[in-house]
Structures are given as C-alpha cells and as structure tokens.
C-alpha cells in the first residue's frame, strides 16, 4: 500500500509538472504568434499593400472629400478676403480724404468705426486662409509619412512583445519599448485616420451650423462693397467736378454707414465666429477627442 501511495504521489506531481510546463509554453506560443503576425504586417505595409487596402476601405474617398472641402473653403476665403480688402482700402482712402479736405468730424467717426470692424474681419479671414492652407499641407505630409510610421510602430511593438517576460536585466528595455510602441501607434493612427476624420467632421459641422452664418455675412458685405465702391471714375471732369463728387460721396457714405452700422457689426460678428469655428474649434475639438480615445484603446491593447 505504501508503494501504491508513492506511485500516486508521483503521478500527481507529474501531472502538476505537466500543467506548469503547459502554462509556461502557452505564453511563449502566444508571443510567437503575435510576433509572426506583426512581421507579416511589417512586410505588407512596407510593400504598400496596407495603404491600398485602407484606400479601398474608404480612406481614399475620405481624402477626396477633404481635398474638395479644403479647396472650396480656400476659394471662399479668398473671395471674402478680396471683398474685405476692397472695403478696407476704400474706407481708408475716404477717411484720409475726409481729414484732408475737412468735411466734418461726424463722417470721420462713422468711417473710423466701420474701418475698425472691417479690419478685424480682414485679419480673421486672413488667418483662416492660412489655417486652411496649413491643414492642406499637413494632410499631404501625413499621406507621405503614414506608412513609414506604421512600419516603425509595428517593429517597435514586435520588439516589445519579444522582450516581454525577459530576464531581470531587461525589464527597463521592455517598458521603454512598450511606451515607444504606444506613442508610435497613436501617432500613426493620427496620420492615417484622425487628421482626415477631424477635417471631415469639421466640414460636416460647418455645413450644418456655420455655413448659413458665413453666407449671410458674405452676401451682406458684397452688397456693401457694390453699394459704396462700384462707381466708375474713369471720366475726368476736372478738379472742381472731382471735388464736388468726392464731397457728395463722402456725405452719402456717412449716411449709408449710419444706416448700416448695426447690420455691419452683425455681419462682422457672424463672419468672425463662422471662420473661427470652421477652421479652429470644430476640427481641433474633434481631433483632441479622437486622440484621447485612440490613446486609451492603444494603451489597453498593448497592455
């Protein structure tokens, strides 16, 4: 009986050792599979298959929509900038002429206030045009670097998996590789998806929210330019005739600006708010939200 008990103990110990060996082998097999998948992904990305696959999944269509939106937005901002430049230059000339010939302070005050409003809108539209052009260049840069960043991210992730469970002298290397893989994963996702999605989401919100405000402001400012600065002065009737015409135009402009002062302020406010939200608030808020979500997802995946 004693011999039977000893044999049972040996069998139990053998089964326990087998279970420990299986538990020791399974993480190793899992790491080998993960590394193999990452190596295949590195090869496919380096050869360009990943870009073509993502393009067929909708990334190319998203890029085309963003390019069309940015191009139309730049053209719209240039038209608005030209309108505001005409109004600004005209008001500056009128103000200088009014001071030189002494037609009274009342018109000068009205013109100065209108010039200040238009100057703020002019600067805002100029900044919006710069942001739109910068966004276009940023998307083009991302399209050139995204697949190389993906290759580096996959290589770093593979090294992090290989060094997982490493000897005591390598845990710091594993932590460094894991942190670097997390950063590169988020950066690659930013270049591939988050930037295009932020622009596309901003375009959608722009069409639904701010487009009516900007269109109303632009139509009002265009009408203001046509009303105040569209007369033809190619004919030369002499100095006295030009003097009388200038005086009459200044008086008409002063009365017209008094009537349109409140509407001008509303147009300027709508224009500034619309361009500010279109070019900065909407895309930046969406970008921050998507980066936060992507970082949380990538951190959980790598852990």
Q: What angle do CA 264, 265, 267 make, to 5 degrees?
A: 65
Give CA–CA dist 14/8, Å, rounded.
10
Write the pLDDT tens digit of every residue in 109-152: 667 777 888 889 999 999 999 999 999 999 999 888 888 888 99
Give CA–CA dist 130/133, Å, rounded.
5
Give CA–CA dist 96/223, Å, rounded.
23
Residues listed for the chain? 303
The closest alpha carbon to 220, from 84, 126, 127, belongs to 84
Arithmetic mean of pLDDT, 88-92: 78
Phi then psi dihedrals of residue 188, to 5 deg = -65, -40
Write the pLDDT tens digit of every residue in 154-210: 898 888 888 876 555 566 777 888 888 888 888 888 898 899 999 999 999 999 999
Alpha-carbon torsion (157, 56, 140, 79), positive or negative: negative
Output the pTM of the full model.
Answer: 0.74
Give CA–CA dist 123/192, Å, rounded.
32
- Compare 20 and 126 and report the one with higher pLDDT: 126
């Amino acid at each position: 009986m004693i011999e039977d008990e000893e044999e049972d103990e040996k069998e139990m110990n053998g089964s326990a050792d087998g279970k420990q060996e299986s538990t020791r082998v399974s993480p190793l097999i899992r790491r080998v599979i993960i590394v193999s998948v990452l190596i295949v992904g590195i090869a496919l990305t380096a050869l360009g298959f990943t870009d073509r696959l993502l393009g067929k999944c909708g990334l190319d269509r998203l890029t085309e929509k963003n390019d069309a939106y940015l191009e139309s937005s730049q053209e719209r901002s240039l038209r608005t900038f030209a309108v505001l430049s005409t109004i600004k230059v005209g008001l500056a000339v009128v103000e200088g002429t009014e001071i030189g010939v002494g037609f009274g302070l009342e018109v000068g005050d009205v013109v100065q206030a209108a010039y200040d409003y238009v100057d703020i809108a002019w600067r805002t539209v100029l900044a919006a045009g710069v942001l739109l052009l910068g966004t276009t260049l940023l998307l083009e840069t991302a399209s050139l670097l995204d697949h190389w960043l993906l290759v580096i991210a996959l290589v770093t992730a593979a090294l992090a998996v290989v060094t997982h469970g490493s000897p005591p002298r390598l845990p710091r290397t594993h932590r460094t590789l894991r942190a670097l893989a997390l950063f590169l994963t988020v950066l690659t996702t930013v270049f591939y998806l988050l930037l295009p999605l932020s622009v596309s989401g901003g375009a959608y919100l722009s069409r639904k929210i701010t487009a009516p405000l900007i269109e109303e402001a632009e139509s009002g400012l265009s009408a203001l330019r046509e009303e105040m600065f569209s007369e033809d002065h190619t004919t030369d009737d002499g100095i006295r005739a030009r003097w009388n015409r200038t005086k009459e135009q200044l008086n008409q402009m002063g009365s017209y600006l008094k009537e349109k002062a409140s509407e001008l302020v509303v147009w300027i406010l709508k224009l500034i708010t619309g361009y500010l939200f279109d070019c900065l608030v909407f895309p930046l808020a969406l970008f921050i939200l998507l980066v936060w979500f992507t970082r949380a997802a990538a951190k959980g995946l790598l852990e």
